[in-house]
């Protein structure tokens, strides 16, 4: 049944009959993934969400960083050890060089130079004139051989001395380091 339209300006007509029914709402659980079927031992499709490998990359990065740290530490220890060994070698070579220069000066009768290679305490106990007289009254040094320095309580440098009269002797020169220059000096002899 259709109602004729009301004239322009007239109030609208009210429908006759019961009001329309509200739309039906679905009954049941909200929409989402389907529930697993009931029964013993049934599990959902995924127990845990799948990973994309981030954990493996993290452990790999930590392992590589740890390995790099160990390599750096070991390399540092080798470097420090190398510096110590090189430093010791330089000290021993300098002590040996000082004894060689001292004996060369004595052999060449350059006693003033030999005297400058003595340590301060030795120079305080004997003046240069007495030092020269000692060598003038002794047999002339013809040749010498300087051995490898020995480090005990002090550094000693062994040498074999050969004199013009045919004698030879083994002498150990005790070395001391000058406090101001750091150079090694002859500070006595045993033998």
Task: Write out pLDDT tens, residues 157-169.
Answer: 999 999 888 899 9
Query: Does residue 130 sit within a domain?
Result: yes
Query: Does residue 121 sit within a domain?
Result: yes
Answer yes or no: are the C-beta atoms of 103 and 146 closer than 8 Å.
yes
Q: Is the pLDDT of residue 75 over 80?
A: yes
What does the pLDDT average to over 167-185? 87
Query: Does residue 164 sit within a domain?
Result: yes
Q: Is the pLDDT of residue 53 over 80?
A: no
Query: Does residue 152 sit within a domain?
Result: yes
Q: How confident is the model at residue 47 (pLDDT cuts 50, 70, 90)?
A: low
**Which burial class, exposed, middle or buried, applies to 96 when counting CB atoms under 10 A from its CB (0-12, 13-18, 19+)?**
buried
CA distance 95 to 162: 21
Answer yes or no: are the C-beta atoms of 95 and 71 closer than 8 Å.
no
3-state secondary structure of 150: strand
101: domain CATH number?
3.10.450.50
Average pLDDT, the chain: 80
3-state secondary structure of 19: coil
Give the residue numbers spanning the domain of 160: 80-190
Query: Does residue 70 sit within a domain?
Result: no
Q: What are phi and psi of 78, to 5 degrees?
A: -65, -40
Query: Does residue 60 sit within a domain?
Result: no
Number of domains in the chain: 1
Query: Does residue 93 sit within a domain?
Result: yes
45 or 119: which leads in pLDDT: 119
Answer yes or no: are the C-beta atoms of 172 and 191 closer than 8 Å.
yes
Query: Does residue 139 sit within a domain?
Result: yes
Question: Quick check: pTM over 0.75?
Answer: no
């Amino acid at each position: 049944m259709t109602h004729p339209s009301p004239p322009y300006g007239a109030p609208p007509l009210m429908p006759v009959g019961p009001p329309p029914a509200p739309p039906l709402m679905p009954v049941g659980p909200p929409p989402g993934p389907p529930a697993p079927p009931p029964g013993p031992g049934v599990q959902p499709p995924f127990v845990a969400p799948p990973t994309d490998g981030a954990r493996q990359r993290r452990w790999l990065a930590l392992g590589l960083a740890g390995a790099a740290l160990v390599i750096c530490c070991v390399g540092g220890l080798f470097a420090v050890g190398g510096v110590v060994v090189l430093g010791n070698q330089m000290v021993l070579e300098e002590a040996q060089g000082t004894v060689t220069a001292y004996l060369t000066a004595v052999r060449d009768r350059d006693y003033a130079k030999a005297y400058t290679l003595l340590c301060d305490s030795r120079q305080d106990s004997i003046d240069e004139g007495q030092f020269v007289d000692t060598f003038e009254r002794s047999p002339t040094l013809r040749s010498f051989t300087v051995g490898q320095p020995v480090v005990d309580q002090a550094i000693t440098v062994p040498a074999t001395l050969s004199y013009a009269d045919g004698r030879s002797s083994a002498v150990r020169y005790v070395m001391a380091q000058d406090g101001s220059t750091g150079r090694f000096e002859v500070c006595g002899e045993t033998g």
